[in-house]
Amino acid sequence: MDQEKLKQFRRQSIEKALRAGLPAYFLDECDDDGVIRVKPNGAAERIVIQQGQVQVQPFECRAC
């Protein structure tokens, strides 16, 4: 799949969700583990399960 088209789709999806006042969720393709949540205020978090517990970490992806 064309990576540029995927990035564009992700950006558009995030913008739509934020305009609606909702968080946006997408798979973490940089680490291949976890889900990225972008909150309506623009803050991004990485959500992973470690040892059966939900771990929420600040997220910054340089590649995306």
Asked if the structure places residue 37 within a domain, the reply is: yes
Q: Quick check: is 12 in a domain?
A: yes
Q: What's the pLDDT at 61? A: 65
14 contacts: CB under 8 Å, gap ≥ 6: 24, 26, 38
The pLDDT value given to residue 62: 59
Give me the pLDDT at residue 16, please. Answer: 94
- Domain membership of residue 49 (yes or no) is yes
Question: Is residue 11 assigned to a domain?
Answer: yes
Structural domain containing residue 42: 3-58
| pLDDT at res. 63 | 56
Query: Per the domain annotation, does 13 fall within a domain?
Result: yes
Q: How many domains does the chain have?
A: 1
Name the pTM for this structure. Answer: 0.76
pLDDT of res. 55? 93
**Contacts by 13-17, CB closer than 8 A, 24 or more apart:** 14/38
Residue 35 to residue 37: CA distance in whole angstroms: 7
Kindly state whether residue 63 falls inside one of the protein's structural domains.
no
Q: Is residue 64 part of a domain?
A: no
User: Which residues lie closer than 8 Å to 7 by C-beta, 6 or more apart?
Assistant: 64
Check residue 48 and report its DSSP letter.
Answer: E
Report yes or no on 20 lying in a domain.
Answer: yes
Q: What is the pLDDT of residues 5-51, one digit of tens each?
A: 888 888 899 999 999 999 999 888 776 678 999 999 989 999 998 89
